[in-house]
Structure 1
């Protein structure tokens, strides 16, 4: 849990994913298209990935990936991120975290 918190706070936007997950790909693509360069952690390629997936599940992320953190705070997984994007609140969150300037 400590490692997860440390990684999640190192950059304005942090996404924990699996390299073979289609929803993870969609979420990463959304942020890139918005002009945000998130830190990406592919848990299936990390030796402690299973441990971090367990910690994400403890935070309430179900499924455990993709898990998005903005400004060091857990936002949610794909459904929550897409909801924020569609209602316009995602850009506001990104601006407040310093990840987006316009």
Structure 2
């Protein structure tokens, strides 16, 4: 399952693994949309193998497992990490470099 998660994470410029009931997941998705990105969203509580994907994310070092944010196929962190990147301006640059947004 870890290979499947890595494959999904690398298929788009920005990928977010979330749960529909997670407030921070919703906030991160909103942030990406406000920045002009259209991330690939994987709602683990709506995926057939969502529980296994969540365990795989934990095994890959994602703690907490959601939201798990990947940019350019690379794990960049959870909500607090992404918010920190946004505050210092790094997030937008990462999204531009990964071609998730254009300027």
TM-score (norm 1): 0.97
Measure, in 2, the Cα distance between the counterparts of 1:47 and 1:4: 13
Measure, in 2, the Cα distance between the counterparts of 1:63 and 1:74: 13
Runs of 4+ that moved beyond 6 A = none
Q: Which runs of 5+ in 1 are unaligned?
A: none
Measure, in 2, the Cα distance between the counterparts of 1:30 and 1:57: 23
Provide the aligned length of Structure 1 versus Structure 2: 102
Measure, in 1, the Cα distance between the counterparts of 2:18 and 2:12: 16
Q: Which runs of 5+ in 2 are unaligned?
A: none
User: Could you say what the CA RMSD is over the residues aligned between the two structures, in angstroms?
Assistant: 0.7
1:30 maps to: 31
1:54 maps to: 55
2:90 maps to: 89
Measure, in 1, the Cα distance between the counterparts of 2:10 and 2:66: 17
Q: Deviations over 1:4-57 (max 9, x none)?
A: 011001100000000000000000000000000000000000111111111111
Measure, in 1, the Cα distance between the counterparts of 2:28 and 2:67: 7
TM-score (norm 2): 0.96
Query: What is the deviation of 1:59?
Result: 2.0
Measure, in 2, the Cα distance between the counterparts of 1:92 and 1:59: 25
